[in-house]
């Protein structure tokens, strides 16, 4: 395997993204990685339960040897011992930690493994520090479909803080590696929708949320109500767009004492701002595209509504593992164009 690749976990944004992306890249490249200063800038430094689940999920798909995989650990040694295998996998987060982030940790390695994989993750599906299940369904996976990924996803149960217990199931395959994408010009709007969702709350909560969300969305955009089972109580509003050349998704989560009208208003306001902008991808998709497109063969480009520290951090990290050429052209309005010359797999 060669020497350990050293990664400073406090670099840039300094959060869990560095851990998850390092594990993904180690599984893909076979490189042994030593991550230090894990989440050093956070109020609770070190690995937490949801990070551990992501790390152990990454370890399972490549039979990695590990040291430091414990709650509170500020360093991790991760050494893959075999190539990633496409198969059936199940990962359980014992808290309301984000299931979507665990899925994103293993998705690119499994996609590049050849064959079909089926992954089930239980835990939080709606977490304030992570993309919700609907974001994967309507934004992330459709964006990767443009790069050749075939996937089917469903989420039969919601998982809200603090009980978690939600579930996401994903089947995926990729025939011959990722193809590059160009999301610099939006083009025509292909589809858009709003969703108000809740668990263990009266139907009237969804009705109120729907009425408010409709005030912000064009009349032609449908709004769906989703009342799903869950171990806990929770609500959220979500809206998304898919253009010929781009995607955007926006979430607002309910909390105790927060009216559903306020939840829907926050989501709707973000949607309105997005529709008035020129960028082709939202700020979250902008950094989530970096890893798979660095491994595509050819040049990818996308215009993000905002150049974030998350984006800068993942560009730095990916550059430690693979020889992809990456740059950001920053524009005067805070947006930017990411250009990646992928190295292929």
Amino acid 94: pLDDT: 85
Which residues, given as ranges, of the chain have pLDDT below 50?
1
- Burial letters for 125-148: b for 16+ Cβ neighbours within 10 Å, e otherwise? bbbeebbbbbbbbbbbbbbbebbb
Distance (Å, rounded) from C-alpha 142 to C-alpha 231?
A: 29
Would you give the DSSP letter of residue 8?
E
Amino acid 345: pLDDT: 77
Distance (Å, rounded) from C-alpha 110 to C-alpha 114?
A: 7
Question: Among residues 33, 56, 36, which one has the least CA distance to residue 45?
Answer: 36
Amino acid 280: pLDDT: 98
User: pTM for this one?
Assistant: 0.96
Chain length of the chain: 345
Residue 229 near residue 180 (C-beta atoms within 8 A):
no
Amino acid 1: pLDDT: 42
Residue 260 near residue 248 (C-beta atoms within 8 A):
no
Alpha carbon distances (Å) from 190 to 4, 288, 289? 46, 22, 20
Amino acid 19: pLDDT: 96
Residue 131 near residue 286 (C-beta atoms within 8 A):
no
Amino acid 74: pLDDT: 96
Distance (Å, rounded) from C-alpha 136 to C-alpha 159?
A: 15
Question: Among residues 141, 87, 80, 94, which one has the least CA distance to residue 119?
Answer: 87
Amino acid 5: pLDDT: 97
At 61, list the tokens. Answer: 């798909």
Residue 235 phi, psi (nearest 5): -155, 160
Non-local (6+) Cβ contacts of 159 within 8 A are: 96, 99, 122, 123, 124, 125, 126, 165, 166, 167, 230, 231, 232
Which residue(s) pair with 340 in the sheet?
A: 300, 326
Question: Among residues 104, 89, 93, which one has the least CA distance to residue 24?
Answer: 104
Question: Among residues 341, 345, 245, which one has the least CA distance to residue 298?
Answer: 341
Alpha carbon distances (Å) from 49 to 25, 160, 165? 21, 16, 14
Using alpha carbons only, how large is the chain's radius of gyration in Å?
Answer: 19
What amino acid positions are annotated as catalytic residues? 310
Amino acid 59: pLDDT: 97
């Amino acid at each position: 395997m060669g020497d350990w690749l050293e990664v400073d976990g406090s670099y840039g944004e300094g959060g869990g993204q560095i851990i998850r992306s390092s594990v993904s890249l180690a599984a893909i490249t076979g490189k042994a990685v030593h991550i230090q200063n894990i989440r050093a800038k956070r109020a609770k430094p070190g690995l937490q339960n949801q990070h551990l689940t992501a790390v152990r999920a990454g370890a399972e798909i490549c039979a990695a040897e590990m040291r430091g995989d414990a709650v509170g650990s500020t360093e991790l040694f991760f050494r893959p011992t075999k190539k990633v295998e496409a198969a059936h996998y199940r990962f359980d987060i014992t808290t309301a930690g984000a299931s979507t982030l665990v899925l994103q940790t293993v998705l690119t390695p499994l996609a590049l493994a050849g064959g079909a994989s089926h992954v089930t993750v239980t835990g939080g599906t709606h977490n304030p520090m992570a993309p919700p299940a609907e974001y994967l369904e309507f934004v992330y996976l459709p964006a990767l479909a443009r790069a050749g990924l075939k996937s089917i996803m469903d989420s039969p149960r919601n998982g809200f803080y603090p009980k978690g217990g939600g579930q996401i199931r994903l089947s995926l395959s990729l025939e011959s590696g990722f193809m590059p994408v160009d999301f610099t010009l939006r083009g025509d709007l292909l589809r858009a929708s709003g969703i108000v969702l809740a668990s263990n709350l009266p139907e009237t909560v969804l009705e109120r949320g729907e009425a408010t969300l409709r005030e912000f969305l064009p009349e032609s955009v449908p709004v769906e109500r989703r009342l799903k089972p869950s171990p806990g109580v929770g609500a959220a509003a979500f809206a998304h767009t898919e253009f010929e050349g781009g995607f955007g998704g926006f979430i607002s989560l309910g909390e105790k004492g927060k009216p559903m009208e306020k939840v829907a208003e926050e989501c709707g306001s973000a949607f309105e701002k997005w529709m008035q902008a020129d960028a082709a991808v939202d700020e979250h998709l902008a950094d989530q595209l970096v890893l798979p497109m660095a491994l595509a063969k050819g040049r990818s480009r996308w215009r993000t509504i905002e150049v974030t520290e998350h984006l800068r951090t993942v560009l730095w990290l990916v550059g430690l593992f693979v020889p992809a050429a990456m740059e950001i052209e920053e524009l005067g309005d805070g947006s930017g164009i990411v250009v990646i010359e992928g190295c292929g797999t």
